[in-house]
Amino acid sequence: MITSPQNPRIKQVRALQGRSRERRRAHAFVIEGVRLLEEALQTAWPMRFLLHTADLDGRAQAVVESARQRGVDVVLVSLEVMRAASDTETPQGVLAVAERMPLDAPESPDFVLLPDGVRDPGNLGTLLRTALAAGADAVLLPPGNVDPFAPKVLRAGMGAHFHLPVLSLSWDEIARRVQDWRLSMCLADAAGAHLYTEVDFTQPTGIIIGGEAGGAGTQARALASCTVRIPMPGAIESLNAAIAASVVMFEVVRQRAANPPSP
């Protein structure tokens, strides 16, 4: 049993929890909690080691046993050590260090999301969760967004990371992929030229959503071939980024359900 918060593994977990630079350097991140670990194990996501306390309920014990059966190095820790390693106020008693290994995008995706300047972890996690629910093929993340493998993003994503390609790319790489995939990029903007229901989303489509503070930047706007707005009769200037993206992405779902591709 690990009983000291100064143990090298515990120091590593704390560094990965707190610093995006360390997550990038180590090519690793922390998966915390029963629900997220269940999702990760279901997809056979590679893990370096798993820490757990002795006082686990049946569901958490099943997670530990599943990890052990998959060959993950499973280590018992004290309650004090788990509290030191955890990023939450009330730890669930189980967490793992996993490989930072984003999934590959399909060869020819026809529905992607591009957040630009989304710095709130809860917003980005919600965007990823919604993109997965709407059937997006990938999420393209340019510089300027919060780290997608930050603890709060993971919690808000509710397991989306383990099913959806989340690709951190330069603007040049994004532009090349958009061109290669022949995507029509559409920016959601309060001053958009078209209502979001007026654009044809049955063609290969990318939805661009700007961040909370300044909206989409110059490079994101340069990629856009159209801009769309959501009608807001109420006395408010803009929607939360995650809410706006949800409205537009599910319009993509609605249009494609109403106009399925020919067999």
CATH class as words, domain 8-99: alpha beta
CA 28 to chain centre: 15
| pLDDT reading at 237 higher than 90 | no
25 has a pLDDT exceeding 80: yes
Report pLDDT for 244.
94
Of the CA atoms within 13 Å of residue 157, those in its CB half-sphere come to: 30
pLDDT value of residue 238: 77
Mean pLDDT of the chain: 95
pLDDT bin (cut points 50, 70, 90) of residue 102 is confident
CA 52 from centre of chain? 25
Please list, in sequence order, all residues whose beta carbon lies within 8 angstroms of the beta carbon of residue 23, skipping any fewer than 6 positions away: 16, 29, 100, 147, 149, 150
Burial 125-144 (b: 16+ CB within 10 A, else e): bbbbbbbbebebbbbbbbeb
Give the pLDDT mean for 227-255: 92
Whether residue 262 is predicted with pLDDT greater than 80 in this model: the reply is: no
Question: What's the CA gap between 27 and 29, in Å, rounded?
Answer: 7
121-133 and 241-258 are packed helices; what angle lies between their axes, rounded to 10 degrees? 10
Inter-CA distances, 27 with 16, 17, 30, 215, Å? 10, 13, 11, 30
If one compares 212 and 240, the residue with the highest pLDDT of the two is 240
Q: Whose CA is closest to 169, among 206, 130, 204?
A: 206
Report the predicted TM-score, pTM, of the whole model to 2 decimal places: 0.94
Q: Please give the pLDDT value at position 51.
A: 98
pLDDT at 260: 85
Sign of CA dihedral 202, 205, 211, 217: negative
DSSP 45-88: --EEEEEE-S---HHHHHHHHHHHHTT-EEEEB-HHHHHHH-SS
215 pLDDT more than 90: no
Ordered by start, the domain boundaries in the chain are: 8-99, 111-258
Condensed to tens digits (0 to 9), the pLDDT of residues 158-210 reads 999 999 999 999 999 999 999 999 999 999 998 889 999 999 999 999 999 99
Say what the pLDDT of residue 212 is: 75
Arch. (CATH architecture) of 111-258: 3-Layer(aba) Sandwich (3.40)
